[in-house]
Amino acid sequence: MRGCSARLVWVLVLSLAWLGPALGGEEEDGEVVAEEEEDEVVSDELGEEDGVLVLHEHNFARALSEHRLLLVEFYAPWCGHCQRLAPAFARAAAALRNESSPVRLGKVDATAQTALANEFGITSYPTLKFFRNGNRTHPLAYTGRMDTEGIVRWMQRRAGPSATLLQDADTAAAFVGSQDLVVVGFFKDLGSEAAQAFYDVAGEVVDMPFGVAEAAELFEVYGLSADTVCLFKKLDEGRTDFPVDPERGLDVVELTQLLRIHSLELVMEFTNETSDQIFGAKIPHHMLLFLNKSSSAHMALQDGFRAAAGTFRGKVLFVVVDVAGYGADVLPFFGLTPDDAPTLRLVKMENNRKYRMDQDVFSDTAIRAFVQAVLDGKVKPHLLSAEPPEDWDTRPVKVLVGKTFEQVAFDETKNVFVKFYAPWCSHCQAMAAAWEELGERYKDHENIVIAELDATVNELENITINGFPTLHYFPAGPDRKMVEYKSARDVETFSKFLENGGTLPEEPPAVPETPGNSTGREEPSPPGTAEPRDEL
């Protein structure tokens, strides 16, 4: 996810959780890099800021040679996500040093160190890469959470064995009982490909302890006859087994996802503590029961909800949302108020389509039937729409809502240019003046319409908006065409696009400068030339 975004909270809380990673994404590499002064004295000394190594092209090789486990953040000074990560990154560096870990953390200003940025393919900020044993050619992409605890845990797994060897029944029992969630791989040969794949999974899934067992005694104690991965949990069914397929072996991606799915409670409550788990599991549909926890009648509805959940484990995550508690902030995303509870909604996570049960029946049978109908494509999404302002069509920039979009955008006599925006989006705010000026320029044009739609409170059946601002051009005619505009966001470029019928004219080739006119230096481009946008 790219752009200076906050993930929508199911529009704003979802901006921190439901729609995407811990910092809300990465900022695109839209800056041309400032050059170092030619007369700067270079050194391979390893300096530090807040316990983090400050790396550049002259000391990078030395850092790799002196630190066999090195996590490097490639950042841009202007990037908001990088600025928010900086204190967490420094705290992680301090925590790792305090425990005498061989791990070190470093950082590279990728806008100043272009050679390093190009070498490692840095296209967004922040990007974290892990270097082991000085290997410069194959760094490992960081896949953990973007917070102190996540960084520390991820690095600890790479500094030591990813799974603890369990040699007898007593140590195994103590390990299994040590935490609420524990994973143990039982392999008759710890050198097998399946066992190695298990170690790979253990290195990535850092929020659960992993053990491994080879002893025949332990196979017998746990009732196993073949290689099996067991998830032990102090919730729901207590234990889930994943037998290793003798033909296919153990698939790392598949096992990782299975562990994520089955480590969750069958029914989750949406809270500050569980939101990362809910979205991290990447289950494609979420079924939501909105209720008020202070009402005993509402709470009783959870029985049918839970009874229906087991049928869809892995396909649909069942979540309870307290409209009078932490869940209150997500209500606008669904067009709900606390008075609408109790009610049920299903969300398709890939496009945020929402589905509403028409009947107020909360039995497990009714819930199962509704969920299955949605999965089978038999239910139409419930689309939100604000009410249009009274003067929506008299302004230079027409204000569209879900109810009016179709008649305006697909008017066969008009060429309609629409900005899809979010009120909180900084990039939308930055281009607002240009869009208003464009509206003034074309307000009296008989077949060009400039419009805007707040995509956080208006939804369209066949158009999915994945980032803000998104600009779409709908040319006149019966074909219902849509063209996405992806160029510079200034009035003159917008006008060229419109006057040329929805495409930008080809620019003539640049005339080379004569040697006498050349400065010999490239001027850095101003911030924003990559036209970043806030991602959902």
The residues annotated as belonging to the active site are 79, 82, 425, 428
Q: Distance between CA 159 and CA 164 in Å, rounded? A: 13
CA 316/CA 110 separation, integer angstroms: 40
* Cα 116 to Cα 119, 259, 272, 369, distances in angstroms: 5, 36, 38, 55
191 within 8 A of 139, measured Cβ to Cβ = no
Q: What is the dihedral of CA 243, 245, 248, 249, to 10 degrees?
A: 50
Q: Maximum distance among all alpha carbons in the chain?
A: 85
**CB of 408 closer than 8 Å to CB of 461:** no
62 three-class SS = helix
- What CA–CA distance (Å, rounded) separates 15 from 6? 5
User: Where do the H-state alpha helices sit in 17-104?
Assistant: 60-66, 80-98
Alpha helices in 99-186 (DSSP H): 114-119, 148-159, 169-176
The two counts, helices (H) then strands (E), for the chain are: 16, 25
**What residues have CB less than 8 Å from 378, skipping those under 6 apart?**
none
CB–CB of 532/3 below 8 Å?
yes
In the three-class reduction of DSSP (H, G, I as helix; E, B as strand; rest coil), residue 466 is classed as: coil
CB 504 within 8 A of CB 496: yes
Tokens of 62: 């030395």
